[in-house]
Structure 1
Amino acid sequence: MPVRRVVPDIHSDDLEGNRAFYGLLGFEEVMNLGWVMTLASPAHPTAQLTFLTHDESAPVIPDLSIEVDDVDAAYTAVLASGARIVRPLQDEEWGVRRFFVEDPNGRVVNVLSHRAPAHGTEGTAAAADG
């Protein structure tokens, strides 16, 4: 199952402060939904950091996100393994299909793939490109 990227998800109450600080290191904003912001390196767009104040659609903030080519196949494999599902597979209006699973260390992993966002959703073009 091909993995496209792995991104740390960092809890933060200061999205603007993180944008300014990591901007000093060459990161630029590629998505901002007000509660989640992703920064990426223009030279290496898969080098990313995500900052969340909370998660609009899940009970917890994940520790990391893994983007895969086929999230449905990943979900099937995780279910078959008996791993604890924190949040079942769902489509988000902002352009991702995802689920949350707990890894053997108790970390919550957001497993996702991008899809066409719902019509009229703000901030999704960068998410789909991100």
Structure 2
Amino acid sequence: MTVRRIVPDFQVDSEEAMRASSDFYGLLGLEQVMHLGWAMTLASPSTPTAQITFCTEERTAPVVPDLSMEVEGVDAVYAQVVASGAEIVRELRDEEWGVRRFFVRDPNGRVVNVLGHRGA
């Protein structure tokens, strides 16, 4: 398995808080690379895998995850995680914005969004 990136996910109270976060982290060199209205990702232009995501909610899952991990072969990773007996918070499925993902709870109670880009 190849891990392509790891991204911290932070829940914020409002779109205004997302804008304020974008402005602040813009001062530190990050630029907006995705905005779905309820989720926004900022990245370094020089190192695009250096990212941070802010969410007001999670529209397709029961909770906002604490962390996102992009992997190669998300279906195989899902099978491994299920076989391990780990708690699946949200089943594997395709999202309209081009990713296939599932949520799993780690041993410390944190929710991890494990994803792969479709067609990649």
TM-score greater than 0.5 by the shorter chain: yes
What is the correspondence of 1:1-130 to structure 2 with a 5 Å cutoff? 1-13=1-13, 14-115=17-118
Compute the displacement of 1:11 (Å).
0.6
Provide, for residues 20-59 of structure 1, a one-character-per-residue CA deviation record: whole Å limited to 9, x for no partner: 0000000000000000000000011100000000011000
Gaps of 5+ in 1: 117-127
RMSD over equivalenced CA pairs, Å:
1.0
Report SS of the residue matched to 1:79. helix
Report SS of the residue matched to 2:109. coil
Report SS of the residue matched to 2:64. coil
TM-score between the two structures when normalised by the length of structure 1: 0.88
Equivalent position of 1:122 in the other structure:
none
Equivalent position of 1:121 in the other structure:
none
Report SS of the residue matched to 1:60. coil
1: distance between equivalents of 2:114 and 2:81? 10
Compute the displacement of 1:75 (Å).
0.2
Compute the displacement of 1:12 (Å).
1.1
TM-score between the two structures when normalised by the length of structure 2: 0.95
Aligned pairs, how many?
A: 117
2: distance between equivalents of 1:36 and 1:92? 13
Regions of 4+ moved over 2 Å: none
2: distance between equivalents of 1:99 and 1:109? 8
Give the aligned residue type for 1:7.
V
Compute the displacement of 1:6 (Å).
0.2
1: distance between equivalents of 2:2 and 2:98? 20
Equivalent position of 1:124 in the other structure:
none
